[in-house]
Amino acid sequence: MDIELQAMDVSPPHSDGWLTRMNAALARTGMYVAIIGLMAIVAVVFYQVFGRYVLNNSPTWAESLAIVLVLYVTLIGAAVGVRDAGHIGLESLLVMLSDSARRKMDIFIYALVGLFGGCMAYNGWVLGSSVMSYTIPNLHISEAVRYVPLVLSGVLIVLFSIEHIVAILRGEEVKPSWN
């Protein structure tokens, strides 16, 4: 009977906290936004090329829209990469450290990444506010639209960095949102 109890996992299931659940939903939504944005970029560029070479009348708005979409795809995708640990890191130094030093270094790294995200969000807000009254000529929308993904991704990077720091302090790992 004792062996059967040992074989069974009788520990309570690990429940993720509200921050983890919220961040997982935000990351998954960010991935979907990036995927839809990437498909939109392909469609807009295809339409521009089709218009230029087949219709001999290239749409003037297509290039401006493609550039705005690239900003959304790259910045939101980069933020999701922070949560899912898809960013570039120098692991060779960390593997030589002790477990305690590695944990401290990981916390320091995510604190710096979070600080960078905060700076992105703040400065994106300031820059977006300063150009709000200007319009993108071919799209007839505010120039501030170009800075929205900077603010959004900065906020997401801060949230995802906090989640990683909390997970490190608890001795856990953040599960990627694509799992």
Q: pLDDT tens digit string along 95-128?
A: 788 888 889 999 999 999 999 999 999 999 999 9
Q: Distances in Å between the alpha carbon of 62 and those of 49, 58, 142, 169?
A: 10, 8, 16, 47
pLDDT at 17: 84
Beta-carbon neighbour count of residue 74 at 10 Å?
A: 15
Distance CA 158, CA 75 (A): 13
CB within 8 Å of 121: residues ≥ 6 apart: 150, 151, 153, 154, 155, 157, 158
CB within 8 Å of 31: residues ≥ 6 apart: 77, 80, 177, 178
Nearest one of 24, 16, 26 to 176, comparing CA atoms: 24
For the record, the structure tokens of 170 come out as 């608890």
- Provide the whole-model pTM: 0.84
Q: pLDDT tens digit string along 10-36?
A: 433 444 788 888 999 999 999 999 999
